[in-house]
Amino acid sequence: MTVETLATHRTQGGTLRYCRHDSASTGTPMKFSVWTPDGEGPFPYLVWLSGLTCTEDNFTTKAGAYAWAARHGVAIVAPDTSPRGEGVADDPAYDLGQGAGFYVDATEEPWAPHFKMYSYVTRDLLEAVDGAFPLDPARRGIFGHSMGGHGALTIALRNPQLFKSVSAFSPIVSPLNCPWGDKALTAYLGADRAKWRAHDACALIADGYGQGFDEILVDQGLADSFLENQLKPELLEEAGAEARLKVTVRRQEGYDHSYFFIASFIGDHIDWHAERL
């Protein structure tokens, strides 16, 4: 798979590249950033999944992650959140369409031809970065924020052979039980809610997924305006307790849903992942 480097920057003890490649899953070009520490590698690495309206650039420029990653010699890959471009379906709302792929493989029109973000992340993206950069696929973790936290949790739970660790910031833990999930999964997967279970972290844990992980780490800001209506971390705690799966939700007083929150605790997450990679 050919990976085109669009820009290169030296930063925080390593090299940041913005890249583009063609995805068989989405049928479109896709972009991602990849930061690698100094040295020959192969490096353990983390895949970061961003939230609604984000691109490959939000985490890259705002999270302040790379100095922490350099301490551990861990690389970080951050893909875009959806297919984009001419001929790709979209919606005027911020929470559907381009920038809102929800990390599922759409089965409904007009989304089905290109919105295959589950397959993209679990197959095309990993093949691209593993082939083009000195990364160690046996030491790979995943984390994300909001919609991307939902993606990280569900993708890791379903693919423990791909990811050794998983954490999230302010994740949508149960699309079956929130307005964002109702809207997006109805549009992408149809009205049969039984089909949604494969993309609901709480349902997956209830169905027996996740037992290979020693812990799932979540940070949640208590000043997050989406906390009660959309995010509901207590549902993840309840699912974990029922399944005897360790779920640690750290509630952070005064923090909101923004990258100011993520930047405040990103070091903790990288430290946590590094112990497991």
- 73-115 pLDDT, tens digit per residue, is 999 999 999 999 999 999 999 999 999 999 999 999 999 999 9
pLDDT at 222 (0 to 100): 98
Using CA atoms, how far apart are residues 179 and 168, in angstroms rounded to an integer?
Answer: 20
Report the 10 Å Cβ neighbour count for 225: 11
Instruction: List, by residue number, the catalytic residues.
Output: 146, 224, 257
Q: What angle do CA 155, 52, 57 make, to 5 degrees?
A: 90
Amino acid identity at 4: E
pLDDT at 43 (0 to 100): 98
Average pLDDT over residues 163-178: 98
Confidence tier at 1 by pLDDT (50, 70, 90):
confident
pLDDT > 90: what percent of the chain? 99
Using CA atoms, how far apart are residues 151 and 173, in angstroms rounded to an integer?
Answer: 9
- pLDDT at residue 61 tops 90: yes
- pLDDT at residue 46 tops 80: yes
Rg (alpha carbons) of the chain, rounded to whole number: 17
Per-residue pLDDT of 186-226, as tens digits, reads: 999 999 999 999 999 999 999 999 999 999 999 999 999 99
- pLDDT at residue 172 tops 80: yes
pLDDT > 70: what percent of the chain? 100
Q: 184 and 217 in contact (C-beta within 8 Å)? A: no
Helix, strand, or coil here: 20? Answer: strand
